[in-house]
Structure 1
Amino acid sequence: MMQNLSTSTKVQETLDPCVVLMKQLISKYNHLWVDEKIYSLAQGVVYWTPPDEVNTAMLKAIGDDSTALHSYAPDEGLPELISEIKSKLKRENNLDKDLEVIVTPGANAAYMNCVLTLLDENDLAVVFKPYYFNHVMAIQMTRGNDAILEGPIDEDGYPSISWLQEQLEEKQGRIKMVTITNPGNPTGVSIPTSKLSEIITLCGKHGAYAVFDCTYEQFDHIRANSVEIESEDGSTFSGFKCFSDEHVINIFSFSKGYAMAGFRVGYIAVNTCGETGKDVYEQMVKVQDTIPICTSRISQHGALGALSAGKQWVDKKVKTLDVGRQAILDALSGMEIIIGGSGAMYVMAKLPDGMDDMILAERLVESYGIAIIPGKFCGLPGWIRVCYSNLPSDECKIAAKRLKTGLRDLCS
């Protein structure tokens, strides 16, 4: 007789994937909207498609390098892509020191690399609530809930630096990793460079790594992290300020600005000027080799094409979100508290006290043809997260109108 088998307790206690849940709700109620459609303001995707250079680069790779496409790429990424990424980091992010780059299957895989590389069993990892659910899920399923230390944000939506200082002093070296997503998911807030500098200083003083998820670097709408960088021809270029301290690890993605979510390409930049950074890079390559081995070759060629299109291409696309962002802000204007709109592609809103965000989310899909993310999955039950980049401006205005009506009816 077979003994009872069970799955991992850590995985059981990990958050359910909320994007999957919302897609299931959309499927459940699609039959009610056959004459129209359900608009998703849930998953963080952009409505545009990748630049033409992506397809051109992949087709060229198929013609020129088809015999190599079936084979493994180097663990850390194709040399030509790494070279272009390093040029981009210097050109757009003011990162020009001794950097090493690891190309990953998206930013989520990059973050998992950081979790597995940096955290021992009894270490603590700080996230600020509301948090990006996949960050917390990565820590939960590998180190467990006890490894997570949830910090508050202040009234501006910025991480509480006073709280972080207290915890770093109190925990006496147990905190090994502090995660900052900037611009923020799910907050939709761009954190000023001055605040980030304070966090980096505190982490360095207390022996903690600062992991910066810069997935939304091109979506810094208020230019809170803008830096003027001198180009090779002597002209100045407006970039997104990043930090090259040895205890800072920066994560980037092609999924958002370049609309390459399905290609699964992200990357990690590690400062290897000293022994600490060199060790992080070497150990992280082990993690990469153990899980994906490498990022798909054809996707990496697509990423090369995206970089050739450049930041200017992305900036023009991001500018088109202004109309939809304002429409969503207007739709949420009747709520008690709103945060976001200054960065990334999100706005969060507080529901009336006692209202269940999960029940509201299902009602919005069923009766109003709108999907959002319940705040429960971001550590804030009683709130909702709304994405405004999923739809072109005309459709986003229709979706915003439905959302405003649904919240008025359900929250009154």
Structure 2
Amino acid sequence: MNQNLVNMEYAVRGKVVIEADKLSKEGKPIIYTNIGNPHSVGQSPLTWPRQVMALVDLPSEVGIDNPNCQTLFPQDAIDRARELKAMMGGSGTGAYSHSQGVPGIRSDVATFCEARDGVPCDPDDIFLTNGASAGISHILTTCISGPEDGVMIPIPQYPIYSATLALLGGRQVGYALDEGNRWEANVEELERSLAEAKAKGTTVKAFVLINPGNPTGQVLSRKAVGEIVKFCFKHGLVLLADEVYQENVYCDGKEFTSCKKAAAEEGILGEVEIASFHSTSKGIFGECGRRGGYMELTGFDKEVVGQIYKLASSGLCSGLPGQVMTSLMVKGPPPDGPSYASFKAERDGIFGSLGRRAKMVAKGLNDIEGFECNEAEGAMYVFPKVTMPPNAASAAEKEGVNVDTMYALSLLRETGICVVPAQGFGQEEGRSGFRTTFLPEEETMERAVELFKVHHEGFVKKYS
């Protein structure tokens, strides 16, 4: 077997989740807070996108062209489905598209990016992808050409980066986020990390920024984003801008700034290579199973883009339902249409509830003795630091697991709450904790916070 595959780890669906699934089959109720999978834990899908999706999938004679269609679907859903089907040549979602995605949908994405960033976006720079993950894999595959090649990733990080680098045989070069300063990034740490990697013989090719943060939930300041863009320009690094949570900003006074916009404001747009990613899985849509998303390339040499296009072409194209959902994410119902008010009300309801849960969970965890937790300014997670009792580490060693995993398994078995051990994301030496989402319904999360406290008190008593 490929030993890179054997050595690859992906904590989000690792040992604790396997145990949770086993307990669930045995009849134990499980609260899954291990993964950003909104619909699986009760978030309702938005109505209008699903209506359009249904009409795009249906044969026209029983859908958009059926005389009774207006009795079941609003006119703006019918009109949008007709537009999308025309973009696909009338074939609907059952045929392959262009390898970069349906041209009309790429134009929708380009219009969205222009409105967000205030600078032009060429649809030819857009690749529609099976979620953000496929685009990330394309860029890392393009960058890693040998075992000495490395990529700078934040610590803590989302495990797709460490897992993909392990599979490709590359090196991960961690740069630490400052937990004491709300997980902010700073240039001094970036320079230290890069210099250390070079001293070890690593050829650093790229830099990963996750903003808003996963697992940390921070929203980086405009200053920090600008410094990162300039750092990548200075050192000739490809910037992977993981921006899938850009809609999920809950903290007053915080706002999302894209790397492309920051590059434009710093006067280096087109001079630094930026691959930015967005996804229908996150935001307010939460359509994880659709596997929709896009990648925008700016500042790349045309020959390199051609090689990335070849790689994308080897998979023929991304799934058409995901492409359609991506279009609906970036271009909602018209403001003067019959669906706009209800669509906005559904979105506002989901967003408001997420914001309340973000504050409630962080506060509840901080009220537990031995917990320290930064408030989630964005995304869908908190990443608390947990002070372990003195005998926990030795007990974990006897069990053949790290102390974070032992803690998470104990939490699961005693309360039914499934979290991800912090070690799977990376953290400073001596730190312990876990990542939890706050996606389950508000009442469920309130109960979960109570259970976190009861479990921790019992765990401390057992291992003190």
| TM-score over 0.5 (shorter chain) | yes
Residues 92/51 of structure 1: CA separation in 2 closer, same or farther (3 Å cut): farther
- Pairing 1:175-324 to 2, within 5 Å after superposition: 175-222=204-251, 224-226=254-256, 243=263, 245-246=269-270, 247-257=273-283, 258-272=285-299, 276-290=300-314, 292-309=315-332, 314-324=347-357
Q: CA deviation at 1:32?
A: 7.0
Structure ranking higher in helix proportion: 2
Q: Which has the higher contact order (CA 8 A, sep 6+)?
A: 1
Alpha-carbon separation, structure 1, partners of 2:330 and 2:455: 41
1:375 paired with 2:410, answer no
Q: Which residue of 2 aligns with 1:332?
A: 365
**Unmatched runs of 5 consecutive residues or more in structure 1:** 1-6, 229-239
- Pairing 1:349-388 to 2, within 5 Å after superposition: 349-353=384-388, 355=393, 356-380=403-427, 382-388=432-438
Alpha-carbon separation, structure 2, partners of 1:336 and 1:23: 23
Preserved contact between residue 225 and residue 262 of structure 2 (Cα < 8 Å):
no
Q: Which residue of 1 aligns with 2:93?
A: 69
Moved more, 338-347 or 61-70: 61-70
* Offset from partner CA, 1:272-308 (integer Å, 9 cap, x none): 5xxx343443221122122x32111133223333334
2:51 match: secondary structure: helix
Alpha-carbon separation, structure 1, partners of 2:25 and 2:144: 46
Alpha-carbon separation, structure 2, partners of 1:12 and 1:282: 31
What amino acid sits opposite 1:344 in the alignment? A
Alpha-carbon separation, structure 2, partners of 1:95 and 1:10: 41
Q: Which residue of 1 aligns with 2:78?
A: none
From the CA coordinates, give the structure whose radius of gyration is larger: 2
Preserved contact between residue 340 and residue 348 of structure 1 (Cα < 8 Å):
no
1:348 paired with 2:378, answer no
1:321 match: secondary structure: helix
TM-score using structure 1 length? 0.85
- Pairing 1:104-115 to 2, within 5 Å after superposition: 104-115=129-140
Q: Which residue of 2 aligns with 1:14?
A: 8
2:413 match: secondary structure: helix
Moved over 6 A (4+): none
Preserved contact between residue 419 and residue 436 of structure 2 (Cα < 8 Å):
yes
1:127 match: secondary structure: strand
Q: CA deviation at 1:226?
A: 4.5
Count, aligned residues: 386
Alpha-carbon separation, structure 2, partners of 1:93 and 1:369: 43
Preserved contact between residue 113 and residue 121 of structure 2 (Cα < 8 Å):
no
Q: Which residue of 2 aligns with 1:56?
A: 51
RMSD of aligned Cα (Å): 2.6
Residues 371/123 of structure 1: CA separation in 2 closer, same or farther (3 Å cut): same
Q: Which residue of 2 aligns with 1:165?
A: 191
TM-score using structure 2 length? 0.76
* Offset from partner CA, 1:293-347 (integer Å, 9 cap, x none): 2111133223333334379564542221133223311331123432341121111
What amino acid sits opposite 1:385 in the alignment? R
Alpha-carbon separation, structure 2, partners of 1:243 and 1:224: 19
Residues 294/365 of structure 1: CA separation in 2 closer, same or farther (3 Å cut): same
Residues 132/270 of structure 1: CA separation in 2 closer, same or farther (3 Å cut): same
